[in-house]
Amino acid sequence: MARRIAIIQGHPDPDGGHFCNALAEAYRDGAEAAGHAVDIVETSRLDLPYLRNMAEWEAPPEDEGVLGMQRIVGAADHLVIIYPLWLGDMPAVLKSALEHLSRGGFVLSVDEGGHWRAGLRGKSARVVVTMGMPSLVYRLFFLSHSLKSLERNILKFAGVKPVRTTLMGQVEGEARATRREGWLAQMRRLGRDAA
Ligand SMILES: Cc1cc2nc3c(=O)[nH]c(=O)nc-3n(C[C@H](O)[C@H](O)[C@H](O)COP(=O)(O)O)c2cc1C
C-alpha cells in the first residue's frame, strides 16, 4: 500500500554533500520507485531562533518553514529521521527544529482534564544515525542513550509506533566507500518498503 513519508534530514550543513544527504536521497529514490509519496525537510535550511521559554513553546508557530514542517509531518504515515552523531547526540540544529515542530501542542499537549494528547499517533518511524565510532561501541558502551531519548522521550511519547533504528558506524573516510554503497542500497530497500 502506498504510504506518505516525511524524511527529516538532520545534518546541519546547508551546503549539503554529506553522507546523510545521500542517505535521504537513497531512501526517497527507493520509496518513490515503489509508489510512495515523499517529502524531505532539510533542517539545515530552517533559520530559527532557539526557543527560550514555555510561552514560546506553547504558542503556535508563525515561521513558514516550521508551519511547512508541521504540515509535512502531520500528513505523513511514516517518519524517517536521519542525522550524524555530534557530541554523542543529535546536532543542535535538528534538536532546535524538533522543539519548533512541537510548538503549539503539535507533538504533545495536555487537555482540560490534564491528560496527555499524543499528537503523532498512527505514524511509524525509522531513525538513522551515522557516527565516527563503531556502532557497536555506541550500542554497548554508550548504551545508545541519546537515541533512546529520541525514541522514548519524543517519538513514542508522541504516539509514534513502531520506532525502528539503523546505526551506521565508522562512516568517515574514503576507505568506507564500499560500506557506504551497501548502506545506500539498504536505504533504497527501506524506502521501497516504507520501513
Ligand atoms: C561536531 C562533531 C561532533 C561529532 N561527535 C561525534 C561523536 O560524539 N561520536 C561519534 O562517533 N562521531 C562524532 N562525530 C563524527 C560524525 O558523527 C560523522 O562525521 C558523521 O556521522 C558523518 O556524517 P556526514 O558525512 O553526513 O557528515 C562528530 C562530528 C562532528 C563534526
Which cell numbers hold the place of 123?
Answer: 505514524
Which residues approach ligand 1 with their CB closer than 6 A? 11, 18-20, 84-88, 130-133, 171-172
CA distances from 156 to 66, 79, 149, 159 (A): 21, 12, 10, 5
Fold of the domain built from segment(s) 4-192: Rossmann fold (3.40.50)
* Cα 45 from Cα 47, distance rounded (Å): 6
Model pTM?
Answer: 0.96
Helix-helix angle 177-192:19-33, to 10 degrees: 40
The secondary structure of 82-109 as a DSSP string is EEE-BTTB--HHHHHHHHHHTGGGTSEE
Which cell numbers hold the place of 7?
Answer: 524524511
What distance in angstroms lies between residue 89's CA and the mean position of ligand 1's atoms? Answer: 9
* Cα 186 from Cα 180, distance rounded (Å): 10
pLDDT tens-digit series, residues 37-67: 999 999 999 999 999 999 999 999 999 999 9
pLDDT tens-digit series, residues 171-185: 997 768 889 999 999
pLDDT tens-digit series, residues 1-37: 999 999 999 999 999 999 999 999 999 999 999 999 9
Locate the domains of the chain by residue range: 4-192
Return the pLDDT at 175: 65
- Average pLDDT of the segment spanning 132-139: 96
Return the pLDDT at 159: 97
* Cα 110 from Cα 121, distance rounded (Å): 15
Q: Whole-number mean pLDDT of the chain?
A: 96
On the CB side of 37, CA atoms within 13 Å amount to 8
Atom of ligand 1 lying closest to residue 18 CA: 26
Cis peptide before 49 (omega within 30 of 0): no
